[in-house]
Chain A
Amino acid sequence: MIPTTLTPGALLLSLTWGIPTLTIVALALLPAARTRLIRWVSLGSALLNLALVAGLIAAWPAHRPPLGAEVPLAFAARIPWFDQPHITYFVGVDGISLLMMLLAALIAVCGVLVSWRVEARAKEFFIYMQVLLAGVFGCFISFDLFTFFLFNEVTLIPTYLLIGIFGTGRKEYCAMKLNLMLFAGSALVLVGLLGLYYASGLHTFDLYALAKVRFPADFQHWAFPALFLGFGVLGALFPFHTWSPDGHSSAPTAISMFLAGVHMKLGGYGCLRVAMFLLPEGAREWMNVFLVLATINIIYGAFIAVKQTDLKYINAYSSVSHCGLVLFGYAALNFLGVRGAVLQMFSHGLLTALIFAVIGMIYSRTHTRQIGELGGLMTRLPFIGVAFTLAALAGLGLPGLSGFVAELNVFLGAFARTPVLNKVCTVIAILSIVVTAVYLLRTINKVLHGPAQAKDEGLKDADLAERAAIVILLAGVIVMGVWPRAVTALIDGSIEPIVEQLAR
């Protein structure tokens, strides 16, 4: 039986969004002029959260429920919240959510580190960033669909302000576009959730109670695409991805990192957790459609990235392509595919954050992101240059780095499915790696190599805070690359129940 009170474990889980919330209060009370203190408070809070998540991961093997448990979550608690409509505050974690929380905590720390030089309206900046963090963490621990949805929506406010106030380029347009498209995606999700609530006959948003219901086929027929598309918008599913290149490119560095690295993953996470887990028949019925869309995502994103000249847009389209791999993995509907997708979420989160961080560092020094105006930076900025190169290599799937592990799983899973369509799509998707290599290597070549430019004389390489951020992210990429078991051991046990449900 899951406790209905705030147990110590549930309290710890709640602290993952509680710490950011308390930080918001603390920051709000600080005078705006004390930017140094504001930065340190933000960093302290991010580190504390990282420590908390690390502790939770360490405690996971001891607390994980036995196989076949009704609710395969650790530290679970289901506290009644509203009676009418029936809503609980149902928190818990499994391997997948722990991995996602680790990703969020890592990128949060790095995000604060790379924002060390933000001076103008720094107080607001860090407050909004904490709101974003609170929303994301809350999402990953929620297993009541209402609270899940609620935390997901919480991220909208800060995103708009962070891009609109602190962004670059056409920031106001991009911020609005991002918000409206994500909100429209939520619209579909909301309809799907209300459908689950009533069609189940249970009048509950409890994920695991709903999982026991066999929803009628005609309900699954419309509810699955509503939910999958709704979350898919956030996961940059073609053709609803257009917000992401604009939004991520115009956001300030730390926010690009967090949005592309973590926030977008909420979409992929929701597709798996809610849409596929609860509506397996719908998933089987519709998956070919989404398989084709995801394939387009992969190949289209890569080709568009080739055409871009702005570093941030290159990476943003590369994200579209790589996030396509997540949905592509789901479409395999088998263990390897889903595992690959989850691994890809983690790997891509680290990589894209790393690349956005590096781009931000280059931009803050050279004041341009156009690859035509850059060149020979390897000699001026060796540390940043090496980090960029490693990230690019990981992105194109070099063995020994994280991207390879994820992509291998995705492709193996996808190819294992019998229908010809799957095999064809897999071949097309694998071919996209060539295109990925084209744009990544070309970018590296243009930006880092060639003759050093005179105007870049005297540029300073990464400072301590920036180095720390790079090292943290790179460490994650390399560890996952050379020791994938560290990650798969965490998630495998939690993927199995989902795959079982898919076969039902």
Chain B
Amino acid sequence: MNLSTAILLLPDALLLLAPFVVLFVDLFFNPRHEARPVLRALSWVLLAVGGALAAALCCGEREVVFLHAYRVTPWMLWFKVCFTGAALVAARMAEGCFAVADGHPARLTRPGEFFTLLAFAAGGMSVTVSALDLITLFIGLEMATIPLYVLSGFYRRHLDSAEGAMKFIIMGSLATAFVLFGYSLLYGATGHLQFSAIAAYLAEHPGDPLVRAAALFIFTAGAFKLALAPFHMWAPDVYQGAPLPVAAFLSTASKAAAAGFLVVLFYGPLAPVRPALAPVFAAFAAATMLVGNLGSLRQTNFRRFMAYSSIAQAGYLLLGFLAEREYAVGALLYFLVVYLTANLAVFFVYATVRGEDVAAVNGLSRTNPALAAVLMLAFFSLAGIPPLAGFNGKFWLFAAAAGAGRYWLVLFAVLNSVVALYYYMNVIRAAYIEPPAADARPVKLPRADALLLFVLVALLLVLALWPAFNRAVFAAAL
């Protein structure tokens, strides 16, 4: 292992170090358990991870394999970019929740634990996409999920939060059971845990029914994690109960991790089975889009609204799995990065106005025009309106389905986007056309947050127009 391959492992090493740094800082340098020192520590580590990722992406080798169990390649690095970025923004969002006055419903306490768990989850996701055998994959997935159970119940005195967390644990455990059952079938059929060995077995026995059954179970588990209909029921309740930054993290990084999990398997060892599962993917995609979009229509609670919105987005995401690897991974990555950016921007705006309800942004264009503009652009990106990157992201995925010859599905997906446009525009209407609430005060935006939001929105435009990013993600997948 030389320097340019070692650099590929650096981001993961730093990311896995992050929770311990936070714990350490909280233990020794934070006698009064304030949010600021731990947040600062976490932010610096995550920024370092970001730097390492950038270095790995531009000067690293194509691949490094570590102990036959762990692998890092460029497309995995892009997934890690997603996790790190989402964790960074969610952490920044959380600071506001620690800062509010005692007794405010959004108030969070015990920052040390909170940020440690957040970092653990991001680390687990990072492990998931890099796994090279079923055990590592399982460990990564659990390491990503268990902290999220705790985080979603972090409002210990709120009934909603407890209820959401409980649902999340039960459903999550069920998903884990599915994964394990799938793995055991796979192990039973192939006799191996190593991806390479499983792939070799499948090359010889492409039509093994046991493997297909295993793939179906594993996909079902992924469907739980990705909140695909009909396994989406937990998401609205969990989002509603969870603290806003956690909901933001769940709807972004956690989705990306679940997508990464499916990519690892279905474009990895289980690739020969994928064509047989294509009708399943198509059916799940159609159902998920429909349920998500129709579900969003009547939501008044912001987090439930975003939960259904992200269910619908996961439906679009699934279309990517209909394409061949060379196209699919790039399109999925492009979509994910853009979706994450827009979703985080939306959550950030609501975190700033401290809104529980969708209507909290009424008249925002009067009280804070810049924030309203961010909200509008982010929602238009989610709706897939150019020149925002969300348009390209969706277009690439729809093209994936069209390339597989499923034009009806494309039509169904685009008509679903019409429904989505309706509810997204309703929020924009609230911000731009509704008058502000009678007691509304100008919303103040700290300078650092303003910069962060500016970066997010600028990304939405830059990613759409500047082809280098597109080229990078598509090249990374090769």
> Which of B392, B414, B471 is close to A186, meaning CB atoms less than 8 Å apart?
B414
197-241 of chain B: CB within 8 A of chain A: none
Alpha-carbon gap, A222 to B433, bound state (A)? 40
329-376 of chain B: CB within 8 A of chain A: 330, 365, 376
A242 within 8 A of B: no
Alpha-carbon gap, A18 to B124, bound state (A)? 46
Interface string of B415-441 (1 = CB under 8 A from A): 101100110010011001100000000
- Within 8 Å CB of B392, what residues of A? 82
- Within 8 Å CB of A418, what residues of B? none
Interface stretch among A51-59, A172-180, A369-377? A172-180
Alpha-carbon gap, A80 to B467, bound state (A)? 9
With A180-B418, A187-B415 known as contacts, the answer to whether A165 contacts B387 (CB < 8 A) is no
Chain A interface bracket (under 10, 10 to 19, 20 to 34, 35 or more): 20 to 34
Q: Which residue from chain B places its CB closest to the CB of A153 in the assembled complex?
A: B386
The answer to whether A190 and B410 have CB atoms under 8 Å apart is yes
A150 within 8 A of B: yes
Interface stretch among B83-91, B308-316, B397-405, B446-454? B397-405
Alpha-carbon gap, A197 to B433, bound state (A)? 40
- Within 8 Å CB of B474, what residues of A? 83-84
> A71 CB to closest chain B CB, in angstroms?
23
B327 within 8 A of A: yes
> A124 CB to closest chain B CB, in angstroms?
8
> B308 CB to closest chain A CB, in angstroms?
18
> B359 CB to closest chain A CB, in angstroms?
15
A40 within 8 A of B: no
A198 within 8 A of B: yes
447-491 of chain A: CB within 8 A of chain B: none
Q: Which residue from chain B places its CB closest to the CB of A28 in the assembled complex?
A: B373
A194 within 8 A of B: yes
> A24 CB to closest chain B CB, in angstroms?
11
> Which of B327, B386, B403 is close to A154, meaning CB atoms less than 8 Å apart?
B386
The answer to whether B429 and A195 have CB atoms under 8 Å apart is no
With A82-B470, A150-B391 known as contacts, the answer to whether A194 contacts B410 (CB < 8 A) is yes
Alpha-carbon gap, A234 to B418, bound state (A)? 15
Alpha-carbon gap, A314 to B380, bound state (A)? 33
The answer to whether B399 and A197 have CB atoms under 8 Å apart is yes
> Which of B402, B418, B425 is close to A198, meaning CB atoms less than 8 Å apart?
B402
Alpha-carbon gap, A190 to B415, bound state (A)? 10
Alpha-carbon gap, A164 to B470, bound state (A)? 35
Q: Which residue from chain A places its CB closest to the CB of B373 in the assembled complex?
A: A28
A85 within 8 A of B: yes
The answer to whether A156 and B385 have CB atoms under 8 Å apart is yes
B13 within 8 A of A: no
Q: Which residue from chain A places its CB closest to the CB of B419 in the assembled complex?
A: A180
- Within 8 Å CB of A222, what residues of B? 407
- Within 8 Å CB of A82, what residues of B? 392, 467, 470-471
> Which of A81, A153, A176 is close to B391, meaning CB atoms less than 8 Å apart?
A153
> B37 CB to closest chain A CB, in angstroms?
38
Alpha-carbon gap, A146 to B365, bound state (A)? 32
Interface string of A134-166 (1 = CB under 8 A from B): 000000000000100011011011001100110
- Within 8 Å CB of B376, what residues of A? 157
A47 within 8 A of B: no
Main DSSP-derived SS at the A contact region: helix
The answer to whether A180 and B429 have CB atoms under 8 Å apart is no
A191 within 8 A of B: yes
A116 within 8 A of B: no
A183 within 8 A of B: yes
The answer to whether A194 and B407 have CB atoms under 8 Å apart is yes
B411 within 8 A of A: yes
- Within 8 Å CB of B365, what residues of A? 124
- Within 8 Å CB of B422, what residues of A? 176, 180
Alpha-carbon gap, A172 to B422, bound state (A)? 12
A184 within 8 A of B: yes
The answer to whether A165 and B432 have CB atoms under 8 Å apart is yes
> B447 CB to closest chain A CB, in angstroms?
19
Interface string of B242-269 (1 = CB under 8 A from A): 0000000000000000000000000000
The answer to whether A172 and B433 have CB atoms under 8 Å apart is yes
Which residue of B376, B386, B407, B432 has the most chain A CB atoms within 10 A of its CB atom? B386
B178 within 8 A of A: no
B115 within 8 A of A: no
B168 within 8 A of A: no
B195 within 8 A of A: no
B396 within 8 A of A: yes
The answer to whether A81 and B414 have CB atoms under 8 Å apart is no
> B393 CB to closest chain A CB, in angstroms?
12
112-142 of chain B: CB within 8 A of chain A: none
231-268 of chain A: CB within 8 A of chain B: none
> Which of B391, B405, B432 is close to A164, meaning CB atoms less than 8 Å apart?
B432
Interface string of A56-85 (1 = CB under 8 A from B): 000000000000000000000000111111
A416 within 8 A of B: no
The answer to whether B418 and A183 have CB atoms under 8 Å apart is yes
- Within 8 Å CB of A179, what residues of B? 421, 425
- Within 8 Å CB of B429, what residues of A? 164, 172, 176
The answer to whether A153 and B385 have CB atoms under 8 Å apart is yes
Alpha-carbon gap, A12 to B392, bound state (A)? 26
Alpha-carbon gap, A188 to B417, bound state (A)? 12
With A160-B425, A191-B407 known as contacts, the answer to whether A154 contacts B387 (CB < 8 A) is yes
Alpha-carbon gap, A165 to B380, bound state (A)? 17
Alpha-carbon gap, A84 to B400, bound state (A)? 11
Q: Which residue from chain A places its CB closest to the CB of B411 in the assembled complex?
A: A191
23 A-B pairs in the complex with CB atoms less than 8 angstroms apart: A82-B471, A83-B470, A84-B470, A84-B474, A150-B386, A151-B386, A154-B386, A160-B428, A165-B432, A179-B425, A180-B418, A184-B415, A187-B415, A187-B418, A188-B414, A191-B407, A191-B411, A191-B414, A194-B398, A194-B402, A194-B410, A195-B402, A198-B405
Chain B interface residues (CB < 8 Å from chain A): 327, 330, 365, 376, 380, 385-387, 391-392, 395-396, 398-399, 402-403, 405, 407, 410-411, 414-415, 417-418, 421-422, 425, 428-429, 432-433, 467, 470-471, 474
Inter-chain pairs besides A80-B467, A150-B387, A183-B418, 6 sampled, C-beta below 8 Å:
A83-B474, A85-B396, A153-B386, A157-B376, A160-B428, A165-B432
What are the nearest 3 A-B pairs in CB distance? A187-B414, A194-B402, A84-B474
